[in-house]
Amino acid sequence: MNIHNLDFLQSGRWNGLAFFSGWQPTVAGTVDITDPATGQHVANVGFGGAADIARAAREAKAAQKGWAKMLALERAKILNRAADLLEEHGAELAPWIMRESGSIHTKAMIEIEHGALFIRHAATLATAATGTFLPGMDERTHYARRVPHGVVGVISPFNFPLVLSIRSIAPALALGNTVVHKPDPRTPISGGIIIARIFEEAGLPQGVLHIIPGGAEAGEALCTDDNIAMISFTGSARGGSKVGELCGKHLKKVQLELGGKNALIILDDADLDVAASNAAWGAFLHQGQICMATGLVLAEEPIAAGLAERLAVKAAHLPVGDPSSHQVALGPIISDQQVAGIQAIVDDAVAKGAKLLAGGIHDGRYYKATVLSGVTPGMRAFDEEIFGPVACIVSFKSDEDAVELANRSEYGLAAGVISGNVGRAMALGDQLNVGQLHINDQTVNGGPYAPFGGRGKSGNGSRMGGPADIEEFTQWQWVSVKDQAAAYPF
């Protein structure tokens, strides 16, 4: 970490601006960023509308051919320099992430470390061999190669803004695309300005990356712009459905990474203290505002009460407050509206017979770690993604029963199974309808080398990361070569 130079981000060069080919104002004006913990002003950035997106897309298209022609090794070097800068300035950048998104320090550092890893992984893609010779169909030489789509539009959410933006931007760039990125307007510094700064300092040519903070209007403008070939979207199923509809209409490739209601299944032979700790981390990290958060804790009947008791004790001891000024485990929820949504789901569960064992209350945006037991289908807490720090305990009688309960969800992102018997856990896990399965771990896991994504309403079958990146951010081109052109019968 570079602790001597603390003005990497605070130079004032980006205040009130967006990142086109350099820092420039948007037509649509600016947006104020406030700390969700205190309501205090953090900064002001350029806010993009349809005209700004159109301009960025034009400039990105103009820059794409030159960027794709640059030697792969040179593209990889720029990416690796950007990763170095993110790590070197991590100590300065983490407090921005904390203030803007209400993150505790641990979570902010996870974003920085994983962000750098995602960029380094992407750099390896730039130099990977991505083509194949085809069997002879005639006397010609035939081969197929992967080529970039052109301009990729990226849309990212507020909860892990840095990592979830980088995991699309970095592989898209590495593989020869240029990018127009629209971070969530509540977290444009962590999800945009930091990324622009590291690539700017790393020597990325102007025009290759545009970062325009904006809302749904700017996002929809990306989906309908003819200069954009692909959209990489991370967010809610509602937003994703609209994005998918627009991309379908405008015939664009679209990658949708959406919500989740992820089951952690705890079998009767599990170590209960370890299992409770897994459930607490999965349900409460970043106030439960994670797509892979443990949304249901399915506990086998003989251990359900013991597990609930341990989890309630843990929840009661987790301090909640402003992460920038106090040592806390949970920071604020992103908005008052989101707090009201969490409370409504908890109240619905209690009204329908669930037991509130801890929490269930909030002080402004500080929502206490909450444990509900006796949650059953038909309660909103069972059926819906909560995006709040609520552990919902559901008891089950048999492994078949656990599979049936877990597979009821319309989502299918992640699941975990904890048991003293790995074979039993794997046999159960094999039956779960999810994109990522963790045996003897909770549901919150991610990283650059694994294909990340979900089934059902968690996405459209696309994956991000690892072997999926080349598949997603390039397309096949068939090339045939004759020594000489020959005449046809016509």
Q: Residue numbers of the site for ligand NAD (CB under 6 A)?
A: 155-159, 164, 182, 184, 215-216, 219-220, 234-236, 239, 242-243, 257-260, 291, 385, 387, 413
CA distances from 4 to 58, 109, 110, 288 (A): 39, 18, 22, 35
- Say whether 291 is catalytic: yes
Residue 18 identity (one-letter amino acid): A
Half-sphere CA count of 351, side-chain side, radius 13 A: 10
In whole angstroms, what is the distance from residue 461 CA to residue 292 CA?
16
Q: Looking at this protein, which amino acid is placed at residue 381?
A: A
Nearer to ligand NAD, 93 or 444 (CB): 444
Q: Which two tokens stand for residue 154?
A: 């990226």
CA distance 155 to 216: 10
Q: In the complex, what is the shortest distance from the CB of residue 287 to ligand NAD, in angstroms, rounded to a whole number?
A: 12
Residue closer to ligand NAD by CB (options 102, 239) is: 239
Q: How far is the CB of 219 from ligand NAD (least distance, A)?
A: 2
DSSP 8-state code for residue 327: -
From the list 244, 164, 219, the residue with the least C-alpha distance to 47 is 219
Write down the catalytic residue from 88, 220, 223, 291: 291
Q: Which is nearer to ligand NAD, 159 or 177 (CB)?
A: 159
Nearer to ligand NAD, 86 or 386 (CB): 386
Least spacing, CB of residue 261 vs ligand NAD, in Å: 9
Least distance in angstroms from the C-beta of 340 to ligand NAD: 14
CB-CB contact of 388 with 408 (8 Å): no
Residue 213's nearest CA partner among 440, 43, 391 is: 43
Residues 419 and 269: beta-carbon distance below 8 Å: yes
Task: Specify the residue, 163 or 308, whose C-beta has the smaller distance to ligand NAD.
Answer: 163
C-beta nearest to ligand NAD: residue: 219
Q: Pick the catalytic residue from 111, 200, 257, 385.
A: 257
Contacts of 339 (CB under 8 A, 6+ apart): 333, 362, 364, 365, 367, 388
Q: Rounded to the nearest whole angstrom, what is the least distance from the CB of residue 142 to ligand NAD in the complex?
A: 37
The β-bridge relationship of strands 141-148 and 18-20 is unpaired
Phi/psi of residue 474, nearest 5 degrees: -135, 170
**Cα angle 293-114-211, degrees, rounded to a multiple of 5:** 95
The smaller minimum CB distance to ligand NAD, of residues 296 and 312, is found at 296
* Shortest reach from residue 427's CB to ligand NAD, in Å: 27
Active site residues: 257, 291
